[in-house]
Amino acid sequence: MAYSDLEISGESGKPFFLYEFSTPDATYRFTSLTQAHTVNSELWNPYPIKHSAVKQTNEISKNTVKITMPLGNELTDLFKGYVPDFIITANIYRGHIGETETELYWKGRLTTHDLSDKNISFSCDSVFTSLKRYGIRDRYTKSCRHTLYARGCNLDRNNFSYASYVGAVSGLSIVLPNSEVDGFFTGGILEFEDGSSRFIHSQSGDVCTINRKSEYLDDIIQTVGYGLSYGEVYGAQPVKIYPGCDKTLVTCNSKFNNKLNNGGFKWIPSTNPMGGSSIV
């Protein structure tokens, strides 16, 4: 990446880094330099950002890089109380003062993050992990090994959707009017109008508890406050609910009529018939 338009003062030959983070909607660019600079017509803003050493090992899964920066920019704001539902890629470019080219030093994606009072640290996997990491092997278990509504299960979740609306909210608990028995939606999916979704951890009557907060829902709630009913006054927020599965053959057959795709092995013996030891 050429930067012939870039004028940098400092010790000749000293390395500097450019950090580029991309989401589906925006790109954020920072530099370890002390002043903003334009490279290839793109503005890179100075920020106290750093990364751990880039290592070369025989195991790609261990070639992670940690990127640390203070809170207080548009990128870190994405992680205020939420985990983004989209992939964020990271590119690190390296250049040297006095030269006219930078090179792509490291490329990957953000996987996890740690927050402190002032800083955020991103653990990033190399781009090669998506190419060479082994996938999860099929397991020989009594319960179904497939993910509900995904490959192997082969159910089209649109055939099982229930229309509802957000009645009230308190923390992770949401009132979603429905006429189903307790637990019918446990392990299922709650989908909002913007396309984002959350796992339903439990369901008792009209109250469903999701696994983590929804930024989309919180943005709406800011105008009315937690625990207040939307109802007809504010306009009910429509959602779709998809029933869950406990991964047993009985539920697969009675609830979804999908026993032919069940990925479990119900008749596994609890003890090894050859030696008598437990295999559960």
Quick one: how far is CA 127 from the chain centroid? 16
Nearest to 15 by CA among 43, 68, 54: 54
Q: How much is the pLDDT for 279?
A: 64
Q: How much is the pLDDT for 252?
A: 94
Q: How much is the pLDDT for 226?
A: 47
Contact by Cβ (8 Å): 231, 167: yes
Q: Which two structure tokens, joined as six digits, stand for 154?
A: 């082969």
Q: What are phi and psi of 88, to 5 degrees?
A: -115, 120
Of the CA atoms within 13 Å of residue 160, those in its CB half-sphere come to 19
pLDDT mean for each 10 residues of the chain (280 residues) = 51 84 93 84 90 72 83 90 83 85 89 89 82 61 90 93 88 90 95 90 94 82 55 66 94 94 87 72
Q: How much is the pLDDT for 4?
A: 43
Q: How much is the pLDDT for 234?
A: 45
pTM over 0.85: no
Q: How far is CA 174 from CA 46, 157, 235, 236, in A?
A: 42, 21, 16, 13
Q: How much is the pLDDT for 135?
A: 54
- Cα separation, 239 vs 142, in Å, equals 33
Q: What are phi and psi of 262, to 5 degrees?
A: -60, 130
Q: How much is the pLDDT for 127?
A: 81
Q: How much is the pLDDT for 134?
A: 52
Q: How much is the pLDDT for 210?
A: 93
Contact by Cβ (8 Å): 236, 174: no
Q: What are phi and psi of 215, to 5 degrees?
A: -65, -40
- Cα separation, 108 vs 130, in Å, equals 9
Q: How far is CA 140 from CA 136, 146, 193, 253, 259, in A?
A: 12, 11, 38, 20, 17
Contact by Cβ (8 Å): 184, 207: no
